[in-house]
Amino acid sequence: MASRFRQALNSSEFVVTSEIAPPKGINLETMTHHVDLLKDRVHGLNVTDHQSSVMRYPSLGGCLLIKERGGEPILQMTCRDRNRLALEADLLFAASRGIQNVLCLTGDAVPVGDHKEAAGVFDLDSVQLLKAIRELEAGRDLGGNTLDGDVEFCAGAIVTPEADPLEPQLIKFEKKVEAGAEFFQTQAIYDLDNFASFMEFARQYPVKILAGIVLLSSAKMAQYMNNNVPGIFVPQALIDELAAAVAAPDAPKGAGLAKGIEIAGRMIREIRENRLCDGVHIMAIGREEVVPDILAAAGMADWQPTGRIV
Amino acid sequence: MKSITRQKSLEQIERGLSDWARVFIVGCGTCTTATMTGGLEQVLEMKEQLEKMDKWVSGWTVIPVACDEMTAVSIEEHGRAIADAGCVLAMTCALGVHRLNQYLERPVVPALDTLFIGVEETPGCFREVCGQCGECVLGETAGICPVVTCHKGLVNGPCGGTNRGKCEVDKERDCAWSLIYARLKAQGRLQAMRNYQPPRNHHRMPRPRVTRLV
């Protein structure tokens, strides 16, 4: 049966997803709190897979927790840490526990993380992982052997609409579509005109696009991302807006974050009202508790994800 | 083509030699001379360093090509001094260490780490251009190997970490797929980048790898 998330993607509804990051260790209190706070506010919750190559509680564990709490998990799966046997086995495990949504990622490089001497595996890449998922669905593993029991996945991938140069990323996007990706989450976007021209390209393909919304909390953070995070471009006007919010003499504590929430909400509202794409993926990076505030700022305070099939 | 090496730290070398007071040093006249890690000058410097560690250097030599079979002759010439030593310190690449082990009963301790097989692009700059993986894709990647030039060895195009033509691991390093893209585009062969590359066969020739001509 199609997952709830896939049903939402295929409905007429504007799709909203968010993500949570597992803890370093087994204290799951904060993660559980975030899951409970968000599970009924979005169509699906991503769980990151050792994000930035920092070892954490596993993505699969986080997805099981979401499942137990009645939410809809989206399993992030990178190719950095497992060879094809381990990836396939984890996919079987996920399927057996009702985790059917998978986001296929290459994975950050090992040296950017906290286990700098570890082997980077990359036995498969994101395109090959998508193909592997479709192979498993066809009843075969990558060794060509028959599987006992059917599996079904809603498989997606990522794309970077602000990459420079862009064309290599678009070629890879096409390869991911051909390999079986049915939805895409984008890297953070801030320039909606640029995003609209990306969407003109993406609309040619039978896939759903969720625009990546990364919460900005200060002008400094925006500058940092511009200088250090590949494929992210925050326009100067937004940086100025964030700076002005805290520069006012009567600016309250947390004015930067409040402005960031407002900006994120404003973008979501514009994307939704103009139907620029099929939905948004909200990344609040360490501030998951403000996701409801972002939705409220987008005029979606009373909005409920349902996912009715058209 | 050169076997590229880097000298281990003196602490590591001292630890490697901790069982012996007397040492014979072997350098190589080919790769480690070119990379200045095991030529005449470095061998003499090492002799001084070992003496500071209170080792007695029974002798030294720089073998013309430490990895070939003529090494047996050089070893024989220095039989006496080698016999006086507890071990041999090899300032050769690992191929030389292997060869020395074939001809010597004395333990051979490497002074260098062997990094890669590289070509000299500009004087003094060596680059790994082939990892000898056994599954060549150069025909579809404009002669630039993604397996060794891309940090992650990706064969189906760039990851999301590429930024303005540079790699996420190091802003000074070129992104392999940006290079491949630019060259394929210039050749009017961008289509090659759209070809799906299946997962690589890591056992095209299973290790240990050996070939016999007859």
The pLDDT of A66-88, averaged and rounded, is: 98
Under 8 Å between Cβ of A282 and A18? yes
Locate all alpha helices (DSSP H) within chain A, ordered by sequence: 4-9, 29-38, 59-68, 84-96, 126-137, 167-179, 192-202, 219-228, 236-247, 255-273, 291-297
Is B152 part of the contact surface with chain A (CB cutoff 8 Å)?
yes
Tell me which residue has tokens 């083509």: B1
Test B164 with A164 for CB contact under 8 angstroms: yes
Test A230 with B163 for CB contact under 8 angstroms: yes
Kind and range of the H or E element at B169?
A: none
The overall average pLDDT reported for chain B is 96
Q: What per-residue confidence (pLDDT) applies to A248? A: 85
pLDDT bracket for residue A308 (50, 70, 90)? low
The pLDDT of B49-76, averaged and rounded, is: 97
Q: How close A285 gets to chain B, by Cα (Å)? A: 18
Q: Could you tell me the domains of chain A?
A: 4-297 (3.20.20.220)
Residue A307 has pLDDT above 70, yes or no: no
Which letter does DSSP use for residue A148 in this model? S
**B160 neighbourhood in chain A, CB within 8 Å:** 106, 158, 160, 163, 169, 187, 230-231
pLDDT bracket for residue A310 (50, 70, 90)? very low
pLDDT > 70 fraction of chain B, expressed in percent and rounded:
100
* CATH superfamily, with its number, for domain B2-116: Response regulator (3.40.50.2300)
Q: How close A172 gets to chain B, by Cα (Å)? A: 6
Mutate which of B144, B147, B149, B156 to test chain A, going by most A C-beta atoms within 10 A?
Answer: B156
Residue A309 has pLDDT above 60, yes or no: no
Beta-carbon-side half-sphere exposure of residue B186 (alpha carbons within 13 Å): 9
Closest of A247, A188, A242, A194 to residue A214, by C-alpha:
A188
Give ipTM to 2 decimals: 0.94
